[in-house]
Each structure stands twice: as C-alpha cells, then as structure tokens.
Structure 1
Amino acid sequence: MGTLTYDSKLVASFDDRVLAHLQAVIWAKLRRGEPFAFTWTEATASSGFGRTSVWLSPAIPVAFEYFGGRAPRLNASWVKALNRSANSAVGLTIVPEPTEAGPEPGA
C-alpha cells in the first residue's frame, strides 16, 4: 500500500498499482495547470467506508509514496479512463481497471 499526501495534512492509502495510475493522471493535469476535484472511498475504523473529496491545484503540494520498490506497469486504457473521469464535471474517481487491448492483428 502506498500513500498520497495532500497539502502535508491529508494522507490516504492506495494499492501501489492504483496509486501509480492516479499519479500519472494527477501529474498530467497539474503540469497543464488544470485544477480538479478528486474523490475516493476508503475503509475507516469508525464508520466502515468513508468518502473523501479534495480540490487538487498546482499550488498545493501532493506527494506519492510507494511500498514496493518497482513501479507498476501502467495500463494505458486505465489511464485514459481515469483521465476521462478527471475531465468530467464530477472530477477524478477511481474507475475499475479495464483489460488492456492487445496489439492489433498484423501489427
């Protein structure tokens, strides 16, 4: 499990594979100067599942820390799906990972 630290105050845990895909999407949007909302759910000791939403902006520090030593291979289809989510009116949410499309026949 890796962590996303937002504004040095909020720390959220994600599986390293999920976190790597989130990082690709978040950094791309922030690099372009695009603020956006990010909402996720996580298990909490007191209430079962809680929902958290933050407004991500280039002016607010975000850090990604991984448990594993190797970066997971990114699924381009999942990055695209997460980007679509981030560009929606609702903002970035963690959508299920689609299966990767294999190479085109004859390619």
Structure 2
Amino acid sequence: MGTIQYGGVGDEIHIEDRALAHLKVVIATKLRRNESFTLSWKHHDEDTLGRSTIWLHPSIPLRFTFEEPEAPQLNVKWIEQLMQSASSTDGISLVDEVLETPAG
C-alpha cells in the first residue's frame, strides 16, 4: 500500500501501489503543465467510511511513497482514462483499472 503526502503535513492518503503508480503519471503530467485539479477517492475499509477530495496545485508539496521497490508495468488505457477524468470538471476519480482485452 503506497501513500500520497500532500501539503507537507497531515494525513497520508493510502492507495494501492499499482493504482498509485498510474496516478503519479497523471498527476505529474497535469502539474508539470501548471494545471490545478481535484483528486477524489473512497476511503479504505480500515479508515472511516466515506470519500475525500483534495485540490491539487503545482505550488503545494507532494510526495508519493511506494511499498514495492520496483515500479509496475503501466497500463496506457488506464492512464488515458485517468487523464480524461483529470481534465473534467469533476477531476480525477480513482477508478478500477481498465484491462485490455484481446480482439476476438
């Protein structure tokens, strides 16, 4: 389980390593372009029930921490879906991975 630490102080946002690796690509791309946006997620079972949203801005400190030492192979389709949501008025909503299915 990885974490996002946002704003230097405060609670850590716990996100599964594979999802966090994909989010990192999308978030870094948006912030590199000086774009602000929101990120929303559902709380994990061990946390209180509900969901949270944060406003991401290039001037606010951000740190990604991964439990796994090796980066996973990235799924381009999932990154594209997350990028689309990041550009929407709702911002990024952490959605399940889009699996590529063989043509048949």
Distance 1:65 1:90, change over 3 A: same
Let me know the Cα RMSD of the aligned residues. 1.7
The amino acid of 1:14's aligned partner reads I
What CA distance in whole angstroms lies between the structure 2 residues aligned with 1:63 and 1:2?
11
Q: Distance in 2 between matches of 1:3 and 1:91?
A: 19
- Whichever of the two has the greater Rg, that structure is 1
Structure 2 runs not aligned, ≥5 long: none
Aligned-partner residue type, residue 12 of structure 2: V
- Distance in 2 separating the partners of 1:46 and 1:97: 22
Q: Is 2:7 aligned against 1:26?
A: no
Unaligned regions of 5+ residues in structure 1, if any?
A: none
CA distance in 2, matches of 1:59, 1:100: 35
Kept in 2: contact 1:76–1:100 (CA 8 A): no
Hey, what does 1:40 align to over in structure 2?
41
**1:63 matched to 2:42:** no
Identity of aligned residues (%): 39
Q: How does 1:1-107 map to 2 (within 5 A)?
A: 1-8=1-8, 9-43=10-44, 45=46, 47=48, 49-100=49-100
Q: Secondary structure at the match of 2:93?
A: coil
Aligned with 1:95: secondary structure? coil
1:6–1:63 Cα contact (<8 Å) kept: yes
Cα separation, 1, equivalents of 2:95 and 2:88: 13
Task: Provide the aligned length of Structure 1 versus Structure 2.
Answer: 102
Q: Deviations over 1:7-52 (max 9, x none)?
A: 12231111100000000000000000000011111136574x2211
Runs (4+) of structure 1 exceeding 2 A deviation are 43-47
